[in-house]
Amino acid sequence: MAKDGAFNLLAGKLTEVINETIGPPLQYLVNWGRLYSLWPVHLETACCSVEVGAASGPRFDIERFGVLEAFGSLRQCDFIIVQGTVTRKMAPRLKMIYDQMPEPKYVLAMGACAISGGLYFDSYNVVPGADKIIPVDVHVPGCPPRPEQVIQGIIMIQNKIKKSKIISPPPKMPQIQIVSDTETTTTAEVKSLN
């Protein structure tokens, strides 16, 4: 028994020593790699997609900030840009896209529609903000926001990545109810459907 306790103490101290000596340089290196290789998924449902197109163009060129062009596979993307109105019919699909992305994943909601429902906030079928469906890291206000604001939002996400730990707990999911004409679905049920 004493030997097992001594081994546990030694293993605990060894883990502590490794975390304190190798941890910070390794964390810096991993975060640096994540910082300048954001692979976005564009969820384009409204006019904000034109502004992301303008930010991707030669005048603003968000690729120099480390945001690469859109890719076909959700399993490779780690950054989602929610652009435009999220309807109740679109909400389970947004959740499914978010769930298919690998950890760590970052979310930028741009435009008044993605943040609060925009002009359609009092409509029966519009979700009042993408943060009711998935955890949003940065909100970029505007209708539509300018390319400079999109770039500022990307820089804010990069600052969050710089401060993040290599292994962090997943974000807590907001609990909402998606109400349709025939049934009421919670986010737990939406997750089980996927």
DSSP code string of the chain: -HHHHHHHHHHHHHHHHHHHHTHHHHHHHHHHHHHT-B-EEEEE-STHHHHHHHHHSTTT-GGGGTBPPP-S-TTT--EEEEES--BTTTHHHHHHHHHHSPSS-EEEEESHHHHH-GGGTT-TTB-S-GGGTS--SEEE-SSSPPHHHHHHHHHHHHHHHHH--SS-PPPPPPP-EEE-SS-EEEHHHHHHH-
Task: Give the model's pLDDT for residue 169.
Answer: 55
Task: Give the model's pLDDT for residue 185.
Answer: 47
Which positions of the chain have pLDDT values less than 50?
1, 180, 184-187, 189-194
Task: Give the model's pLDDT for residue 71.
Answer: 67
Please, which residues have CB within 8 angstroms of residue 31's CB and are 6 or more apart in sequence?
A: 161, 162, 164, 166
Task: Give the model's pLDDT for residue 183.
Answer: 53
Task: Give the model's pLDDT for residue 192.
Answer: 46
CATH fold, domain 20-193, is Rossmann fold (3.40.50)
pTM: 0.71
Q: What residue segments make up the domains of the chain, in order of their start?
A: 20-193
Task: Give the model's pLDDT for residue 69.
Answer: 74
Task: Give the model's pLDDT for residue 163.
Answer: 82
